[in-house]
A and B are shown apart, each in its own frame.
Chain A
């Protein structure tokens, strides 16, 4: 078969979507980062199970906890955005695809903003 690719295109290896393995790689990077973050979250939920509002606030106010929870949210929502994109690409087609992707992107940004703002408000609030 004739190869119409230019040498430069071959070296760049970005393919027809002009994105190469970027999406795939970031999915893995966020997956690896999520392992310790998820363990931290699960251990915290179990360790603080049944506590009241004041106790949860005191827990979240600790600088290390605030930062880890923010990292967990940012990383998880990014991983979720990448994963849901794959589902849409596989199962949704046509105009609905664009609408679904926009809805997913906007929802992810909204979720991350709400969660991170809440953590910051608790961390800096009285």
Chain B
């Protein structure tokens, strides 16, 4: 049989969406997004070492509406990746495998992400005295 003509197992589109599936896919997606976050952090550290003028320019970029949106997205990605990563560690230890605990913990990661992202941003705005 030719390479490209072998029957393949069905891909994502045939499955009904569930919390566990969403968390699993999001873990990869947020992980990739955090690679961008790491690059931004590096840019920011290089700017700090370069001097105050360049640092201020980077701060202005990151503080602009677009910059804030990106940082907000990275916060969501970080919290989701953190929560679902910890869930993975439990699963590595053999826990959370019965259906109820598995779905429940998957849904909990979403609650964690939303709550923590809001807490972080409200706290940051409070520290800046803008709230």
How many residues of chain A are within 8 Å of chain B by beta carbon?
A: 36
Chain B binding surface, main DSSP class: helix
CB neighbours of B49 from chain A (8 A): 117-119, 121-122, 125
**Identity of the chain B residue whose Cβ is nearest the Cβ of A90 in the assembled complex:** B28
Within 8 A of A (CB), among B81-131: 82, 85-86, 88-89, 92, 120, 123-125, 127-130
| Contact between A115 and B82, CB atoms less than 8 A apart | no
Interface string of A47-85 (1 = CB under 8 A from B): 111101110110010000000010001001100100110
| Contact between B28 and A87, CB atoms less than 8 A apart | yes
Q: Which residues of B contact A (CB under 8 A)?
A: 28, 31-32, 34-35, 38-39, 41-42, 45-46, 48-49, 51-52, 55-56, 78, 82, 85-86, 88-89, 92, 120, 123-125, 127-130
Within 8 A of B (CB), among A30-54: 31-32, 34-35, 38, 42, 45-50, 52-54
Chain A binding surface, main DSSP class: helix
* CB-contact partner of B55 in A56, A69, A111, under 8 A: A56
